[in-house]
Amino acid sequence: MSSKSKKNQEELTDKQQEQPAETVVEQQEVMQQEPLIYVGPSLPNGLATKYTTFSNGIPVHLSIHFEKCPAFKQLFIPVRRLAETEKRLNDATSAESVFYQQTVKYFVRKG
């Protein structure tokens, strides 16, 4: 194999290895841009209202509560999952229902 064709082959291999990383980054950007809808309880002082949609991510004034109440974060879902999540919220044993109740308790204690 000539030195030139070996170099070309190495460049192709490098490009192939780079491809998946680029694809992952693109997928993450799409996920970050996907509209989210809040399916939790409406919160005091208009902090959050049930069924509010967010097209540019979750605002900082809401995300600051995620560390103290991880359940709150779980109530921001992709819009495409709304119907499925609504059904699960009506099931008292579902994770979504538990997240909802934990969020209520967190904001009642806080307020």
Q: Are 37 and 79 in contact (CB under 8 A)?
A: yes
What average pLDDT score do residues 26-35 get? Answer: 61
Task: Please indicate whether residue 4 or residue 74 has the higher confidence score (pLDDT).
Answer: 74
Residues 28, 44: one domain? no
Domain that holds residue 75: 34-110
Residues 65, 93: one domain? yes
Residues 63, 103: one domain? yes
Residues 86, 66: one domain? yes
Buried-exposed string 27-57: b where 16+ CB fall within 10 A, e elsewhere:
eeeeeeeeebbbbbbebeeeebeeeeebeee
Supply the pLDDT for residue 33: 78
Confidence band of 5 (pLDDT split at 50, 70, 90): low
Residues 46, 80: one domain? yes
Number of structural domains in the chain: 2
